[in-house]
Amino acid sequence: MNKTVLVTGATSGFGKAIATVFAQNGYDVCITGRRAERLRSLKMELESAYKVSITTSCFDIRNRKEVEDAVAVLKQSHSTIDILVNNAGLAAGLSTIDEGDVDDWDAMIDTNVKGLLYVTRQVLPMMKEKGGHIFNIGSTAAKLVYKNGNVYCATKFAVDALNQAMRIDLLPYGIKVTGIHPGMAETEFSIVRFKGDEQRAASVYRGFEPLHAEDIANTVYYCATLPAHVCINDLTITCTNQANSAHTIKDAERVNK
């Protein structure tokens, strides 16, 4: 029987790439997100390319009842979830704390922190018996606050704290917990942050090669396939032109172009 991976936020970016790499390697994958059409087309694409079963589950991770109902449905078709990738998340806006939009703050806290907790709480009973592996997608913003990043960074610091807490609490069950902390990656992340302004979003990555979603997917897959006694606790991954969340250079600034 194939192992099963549940990936939140699989309609785009990292989540879509993570679902794809696991399907390529023979895992059954449960894919979630709010955009039903994207879930349907990814299911068709992966099932026609690989001999795996893809289950779609469309819900808003901020809504506790929707999360509970969705995982209850998954339980009817899957006795176990071997790997949970808590990936769904967003940044909304970029401004000083005194000018921040409170609705943006709610969206980030509700999605990046509370949504991750809701899903984890519901999935854990499906993992505790046999052990498993939880990946929490944090960020370089979980390690160093940057200007105007305030609440987004706070949510990712919270994810980092939850990585540490889960690792302690889940030791008795043989559940590995890995925090993955990517730097700048050109997904739909900045389009969402800048509310659909694609030009502003593209300008974030101009002049250097950022991470690609596949770089993170391959890293998650690597961590997931290590021997049973080995757990990578925490990984920070940036493109070569980025040192941390506050220091990135353009290719033109490099001395050895």
Catalytic residues: 152
Select from ligand NDP, ligand 8X3, none the partner in contact with residue 84, using the beta carbon and a kind-dependent cut-off of 5 to 8 Å: none
Is 29 a residue that touches ligand 8X3 (CB under 6 A)? no
CB environment 110-130: b (16+ within 10 A), e (fewer) = bbbbbbbbbbbebbbebbeee
> DSSP states of 32-79 as a string?
EES-HHHHHHHHHHHHHHSS--EEEEE--TT-HHHHHHHHHHHHHH-S
Is 213 a residue that touches ligand 8X3 (CB under 6 A)? no
Each residue 121-160 as x (binds ligand NDP by CB under 6 A) or -, in order, gives ----------------x-x---------------------
Instruction: Please identify which residue in 83, 141, 166, 239 interacts with ligand 8X3, judged by CB under 6 A.
Output: 141
Q: Tell me how many residues contact ligand 8X3 (CB under 6 A).
A: 8
Residues facing residue 84 across a β-bridge? 6, 134
Look up residue 246 and give its two tokens: 């506050």
Is 57 a residue that touches ligand 8X3 (CB under 6 A)? no
Count other Cβ atoms within 10 Å, centred on residue 15.
27
Select from ligand 8X3, ligand NDP, none the partner in contact with residue 245, using the beta carbon and a kind-dependent cut-off of 5 to 8 Å: ligand 8X3
Is 5 a residue that touches ligand 8X3 (CB under 6 A)? no
Residue 69 burial class via C-beta count within 10 angstroms: exposed 0-12, middle 13-18, buried 19 and up: middle
Is 33 a residue that touches ligand NDP (CB under 6 A)? yes
The three-class DSSP label of residue 221 is helix
Is 238 a residue that touches ligand 8X3 (CB under 6 A)? no
Instruction: Please identify which residue in 4, 5, 6, 11 interacts with ligand NDP, judged by CB under 6 A.
Output: 11
